[in-house]
Structure 1
C-alpha cells in the first residue's frame, strides 16, 4: 500500500515535471511583449529630453511596469488558470483562477504603490508624508493579503488536511486541527510583518521575508528529494517479473523491509531538513555538529546504524541461504530433508537473532556511554555456569542439529546408534527414539551417539553364502546360483528391487566338511531382505532337485572293533 502511494506521488510529480519545458516555452512567448515594451521604453527615454525629476519618475514607472508584467507572466505559467493541461501546481481550476486573481491584484497594487511613492519623491513631498503614504500603501497591501488568506482558507485547509488513514492517529488528528486553523497563524504572520515594517526595525522586514522564503525553498527541496529517493528505493527493491516468479521468498522479504527502509529514508530527510532550517534561521546547527558533543552524537548514531544494518543483512543472508537449500531439496524430491530443515529453520533463526541482538545491544550501550565491561563479565559468568550445568543438554542439542542437517537418519530407517539397533520412530533436536526388534523402545540422547549405522540409504546387498559338501560339483552349484538370480530379475516382484545379477566371488573357504561359496546381489535397501529370503529358498529347492548336497557340519564317528568273545580261549 505504501509503495502504491509513493508510486502515485512520483507519477504526479513526474507528470508535472514533464510540463516544465512547455511552461518555460510559454513563459518566453509571454515575455516577448515585455521585451518589446522595454526596448521601446528605454529608447523613448533616450530620445526624449526630460527634466531629471521627470525622467526619474518615468524610469521608476517603467521598471515597476516591466517587473509587474513579468511577474504576472510567471504566475500565469505556474497557475495556468485557463489551461489546466499546462498547470505546474496541483490544484483545481476554480482554486487556480481565484488564486491567480488575488495574486494579480497584489502585484498590480504593489506596482501602483511603488509608482506612487516614486512620484511623491519626485514632486518633493516631505519625507514624513512619503513615509506615511508608504505605511498606508503597505498596510493596504497586507490587508489584501489577509483578504486572500480569508478567501482561500477552506481550499488550502482541504489540501493541508492529512488523509483519513493518518487522521486516525494522534499526530494525524493534531495535524488535521492545525490544517483547519492554518489561517490564524497566517493572518498573525501577515500583521506581524506590517508591524515590523511600520516600526522601522532594522532589516526586520527583509529578514522575515528571507526566512520565510528560505524555509519554503528548503521544504520544497526536501519534498522533491523524498519523492526522488523513495522512487530510487522502490526501483532498487522491486524485482522484475521473471525474478519475482523464480524467487518468491526474496520478493516477500523485500516487500517486508520496504516500509522500514522508507521510514529510515523519511527520518533521514527530516533530520537533514531540520538542520538546514536551523541553519537558515540563524542557529549554528552545523557548528554544533562539528563540536565535541555533536561529533560524538553523530559518531554514535552512525555506529548504531551500521551495526543494525550489518545485523539485518547477516540475518537475512543466512535465512536466504537456508530457504534456498529447502528449495533445492524440494526440487530434487527430498521432501523429508526439506521438511526437517523447515522444522529447524525457526530454531536456527531464533539462535541467530538472539546472537545478533546481543551484539547490537552491546554496541548501542557502548556507543551511548554505558560501560559494558561489567555486563560482559556478568554474562560470561552466567554463561560458564550454564555451560557446566547443562553441558550434556547443549551437547545433545548441537549433536542433534548436525545429525539432522546431515540427514544421518529419518523416521522409518533401521539404524544402530549408541550400540542399540532398531527402527527410528521419532527424532527431536535432543533425543532419538528407536523401536527394537522385540518391541521395546530405546530413547537415546544424541550426546551418547558417536556413530550411526543406517541400513536404509538406497542400497542393501543381499549376502550369498552357502556351504556345500566337498564331494559336490562346485562349478555346477555356482551355475545354479547364477541362474536363480537371473530368473528372479525377470519377475515383477523382484525386478525393481534387484540392481544387479549375482556377483559371484567364488570359493570363499574350504574345510574337511564344507566348501563355502560366496557372493552378493546388489538390491535396494527396502528389497534386500525379501530378495535374500526368496533366493535362499530357491537355492535350497534347486540344490535338492539337482542333487547338490549341502554340507553337514555334524561329524559321525564310527568305532570299528572285534567281538569280545572272539579273543577268549577254548572253553574247557
Structure 2
C-alpha cells in the first residue's frame, strides 16, 4: 500500500499515492494520515477532473447545427432505407413468421393457436350476447323520434352507447378468463395483443363513432352531416383504427420474435398507410367534414366559418406532420413511446380538437341561459354571453387536450411544477398562467355583462314621441356603475395575471412594481386635474347623483346622461347636441328624472264659468286616465283641479296637476290637453281670449260703420296692443 507524504509548508496532492487495492478501509486509513489541506486539495482536483467545461457560443452554435443535421439525416434516411429494403420485405417477414411457427410447434401448432383464438372470440361473443339478452328487460329502451330534442338524442344515444360498452366489457373479461384457461403464457403473448388491437379496439371505435355519427338515426345525430356521409365516416374511422392497431401489433410481433425495426420495414409502410388513409378520408369527405364543423348554430362568426372550411386540410396537415415526426424519431432510434402508440394518441386528440370546438358551440347553444327581455339590447347581450361561454370552453378544451397529449408521451404536470426543467418549464407555466387569467377575465366579464343586460332590458324603453322633451326616466344604479366596474375589473385582471405570468419566466417583477408606483406618482403630480376629475366622478357615483338615461342640468347645460367614463360624462340635449363635462368641473347637478315628477297645467276660462264645474271635469278626466291601459302604472297621483289660481283682465285661471313617473309626464300632458278641450266643447265652455275694445267718442251707432272704417279702427287697435306688449316685454 502506498504512503501519503507532503511538506508542512504547502500540502499538495501530487505526491499522494492511492492505495492498491482501493478498499474502503484503505481509503479511511489514508485520509486519517492526511492533513485537512491535503484532503481539500484532493477533493478539488477530483471535482475539476469530472466537471464539464462551460460551452462557449461557438460550441452552442456547433451543437445546434449538429442537431439539425442529425435530425435531417434521420428524417430522409429512414424512408430511404425502407425503400431500399422494400424488395426484401416479404422474405424478411417470411423468416419472422417461420421462426414464430417453429417456436409454436410448427404448422399444426399455429393452426391450434388460431383455433384457440377463434374459440375464445366465439365463446366471449356468445357470452356477450347472452348477457345482453338477460339484462334487456332491466334496461329502459327509448325509440328514436323525428322530433327529438337534444336531451332526447343524448339520452337515446348514451343508453345505446352504454349497452355497447357493457357488451364490450363482458366480451373482454370473458375472452381474458377463457384465454387464461385454455392457452399457455406463450400463446397468450400472441393472442392477447391480437384480440386487443384487431378486435377490441375497432369495436370500441365503432361504438364511439355510432354514438357521434348515428348513421341510421338522422333525427338523433349530434353532428351536422347527411346519412351517406355519416355512414362513410363511420366505416372508414373503424377501418383507420383497425389499420393503426394492425401496425402496432405487427411491430410488437416482430420485436417479440427478436427482429429489429431495421431488419424489416413493414412497420414503416403500415404506419405510412395510416397517414395516407387519414388524408384520403379528409379529402374524400371534405364537404361533409366542413358541414360537421360548421354546425347548425345561426350565430356563427367568420372565424367559425374559416375553421370549418380549413378543417379537412388541417387533418391532412396533421397526418403529414405526424408522419414527419415519427419518421425522424424512428431514424434517431427513439421508438419506445412510439411502440406504445403515443403518436396515434397525439394525432387523435389533434384531429378531435376542432370537432370538440363544434361540440362546445352546440352545447352552449342549448345550455346557455335564455335571453332576458326583448329588443336589440337583449339580443346583443345573449350573443355576447354565448361567445363568452364558447371562449371559456375553448380554453378549457385546449388545456385538456394538451394534458392528454402530454400523458401520451409520459409527461405529467408534476414534471413541470416540481422538476424545474429550465426555460421549457417556465414557458409552460407562463402559458398556464395566461390561460388561467383569460378564464378569470371571461368569467368576470360574463357575470358583469349578464347583470348589465338584465338591468338594461328590464328598464322601460324611452318613448320616441316624448324623447324630444327631455326629462326621461334613467336606468338603474347598477346599469350606470357596471360598465365602469367591468373596465376596472378587466384592467386589474390583465395587469395582475400579466405580472404573474412574467414572474413564471424567472423575471423579477419587483422593479416593475416599483416602476409602476413611481409612474403612478408622476402621473398624480403631473395630471392633478385628471385625478380631480376621477375622484369627483367616484364621489358622484357613490352619491348616486345621476344615472345613464336621466335628464339633468349641470351649470345651465341640460340633457340626458348618455355615457359616463372614468373622468367625464356626456349629456345629450333634447335638440341633439352632445355636451362632454369633466366631473371636476361640475359644481352641482340638478336631476329631473329621479323617483317622481309633478306637472302643473294652467287653463284660462271666461269670468262667467263656474269653477266647480271645471273641477268636476278635471276629476272625471283624471279617473278616465287612471283606467286607460296606455298609462297603467304611470300615475302616482291622478290629474285633479287645484282651484282658481289667478284672476286677471282676461278671465279666471284654473290650475290642475298630476304626479307621474319620470319620462311619462309629456305623453300624459298631451292626452290631458286633448281631453280637456273635448270636455270643454261638450259642456259649452270656451277658453278665454284676450280682447281689445275700442271706444269712439260721439259714435253711437257702430253698426252704421262701413267696412273701410272698421278696418281702419282695427289696424289702429292692433298697433296700440302691439305697443303695449312690447312695453311689457321691456319691463325688468
Q: Given the two structures, how large is their TM-score scaled by the length of structure 2?
A: 0.42
SS at match of 2:659: strand
What is the deviation of 1:482?
A: 1.5
Alignment of 1:137-286 (within 5 A): 141-142=258-259, 149-159=264-274, 165-166=313-314, 174-179=321-326, 212=336, 219=342, 243-244=367-368, 246=370, 249-269=384-404
What is the deviation of 1:224?
A: 13
Closer/same/farther in 2, CA of residues 332 and 242 from structure 1, 3 Å limit: farther
What is the deviation of 1:508?
A: 9.0
Partner of 1:73: 191
Closer/same/farther in 2, CA of residues 384 and 172 from structure 1, 3 Å limit: farther
Is 1:322 the counterpart of 2:459? The answer is no
- Retained in 2: the 8 A contact 1:304–1:367? no
- Retained in 2: the 8 A contact 1:424–1:435? yes
Partner of 1:408: 547
- Retained in 2: the 8 A contact 1:457–1:525? no
What is the deviation of 1:432?
A: 3.8
Partner of 1:419: 555
Partner of 2:178: 29
Tell me the number of residue pairs that the alignment of Structure 1 and Structure 2 aligns.
428
Is 1:354 the counterpart of 2:496? The answer is no
What is the deviation of 1:485?
A: 0.5
- Retained in 1: the 8 A contact 2:554–2:586? yes
- Retained in 2: the 8 A contact 1:400–1:428? no
Partner of 2:517: 380
Is 1:480 the counterpart of 2:619? The answer is no
Partner of 2:140: none
Closer/same/farther in 2, CA of residues 417 and 244 from structure 1, 3 Å limit: same
What is the deviation of 1:326?
A: 1.1
What is the deviation of 1:232?
A: 12
Q: Please report the RMSD computed on the Cα atoms of aligned residues, expressed in angstroms.
A: 6.6
How far apart, CA to CA, are the structure 1 residues paired with 2:401 and 2:348? 10
SS at match of 1:246: coil
What is the deviation of 1:74?
A: 2.2
How far apart, CA to CA, are the structure 2 residues paired with 1:441 and 1:235? 46
Bigger shift: residues 455-464 or 254-263: 455-464
- Retained in 1: the 8 A contact 2:534–2:583? yes
| Pairing partner for 1:19 from 147, 162, 168 | 168
Partner of 1:125: none
What is the deviation of 1:22?
A: 0.8
Partner of 1:448: 585
Give structure 2 stretches of 5+ with no counterpart.
Answer: 1-159, 207-237, 280-311, 372-381, 464-473, 689-732
- Retained in 2: the 8 A contact 1:434–1:442? yes
- Retained in 2: the 8 A contact 1:463–1:521? yes
- Retained in 2: the 8 A contact 1:484–1:539? yes
Closer/same/farther in 2, CA of residues 96 and 542 from structure 1, 3 Å limit: closer
- Retained in 2: the 8 A contact 1:80–1:87? no
Closer/same/farther in 2, CA of residues 538 and 386 from structure 1, 3 Å limit: farther
| Pairing partner for 2:599 from 454, 457, 462 | 462
Closer/same/farther in 2, CA of residues 93 and 299 from structure 1, 3 Å limit: closer
What is the deviation of 1:12?
A: 11
Closer/same/farther in 2, CA of residues 267 and 168 from structure 1, 3 Å limit: same
How far apart, CA to CA, are the structure 1 residues paired with 2:557 and 2:202? 85
SS at match of 1:142: coil
How far apart, CA to CA, are the structure 1 residues paired with 2:204 and 2:572? 80
Closer/same/farther in 2, CA of residues 343 and 545 from structure 1, 3 Å limit: closer
Partner of 1:525: 665
- Retained in 1: the 8 A contact 2:481–2:541? no
How far apart, CA to CA, are the structure 1 residues paired with 2:577 and 2:358? 61
Closer/same/farther in 2, CA of residues 387 and 315 from structure 1, 3 Å limit: farther
What is the deviation of 1:256?
A: 1.5
- Retained in 1: the 8 A contact 2:434–2:497? yes
How far apart, CA to CA, are the structure 2 residues paired with 1:97 and 1:218? 12
Give structure 1 stretches of 5+ with no counterpart.
Answer: 1-10, 35-65, 111-140, 190-211, 279-284, 549-572
- Retained in 1: the 8 A contact 2:639–2:656? yes
How far apart, CA to CA, are the structure 2 residues paired with 1:238 and 1:399? 47
CA shift digits 1:224-245 (9 cap, x unpaired): 9989x99999999985875335
CA shift digits 1:110-149 (9 cap, x unpaired): 5xxxxxxxxxxxxxxxxxxxxxxxxxxxxxx427x656x4
What is the deviation of 1:253?
A: 2.0
How far apart, CA to CA, are the structure 1 residues paired with 2:252 and 2:509? 63
What is the deviation of 1:418?
A: 2.1
- Retained in 2: the 8 A contact 1:27–1:73? no
- Retained in 1: the 8 A contact 2:197–2:249? yes
SS at match of 2:174: helix
- Retained in 2: the 8 A contact 1:463–1:519? yes
What is the deviation of 1:266?
A: 3.8
SS at match of 2:449: helix
Closer/same/farther in 2, CA of residues 153 and 305 from structure 1, 3 Å limit: closer
Closer/same/farther in 2, CA of residues 68 and 487 from structure 1, 3 Å limit: closer
CA shift digits 1:123-180 (9 cap, x unpaired): xxxxxxxxxxxxxxxxxx427x656x423432212325786645776x8755333445
Rg larger in structure:
1
Q: Given the two structures, how large is their TM-score scaled by the length of structure 1?
A: 0.51
How far apart, CA to CA, are the structure 2 residues paired with 1:425 and 1:105? 80
How far apart, CA to CA, are the structure 1 residues paired with 2:445 and 2:364? 23
How far apart, CA to CA, are the structure 2 residues paired with 1:75 and 1:24? 14
What is the deviation of 1:434?
A: 6.2
How far apart, CA to CA, are the structure 1 residues paired with 2:325 and 2:426? 36
Partner of 2:107: none
- Retained in 2: the 8 A contact 1:455–1:525? no
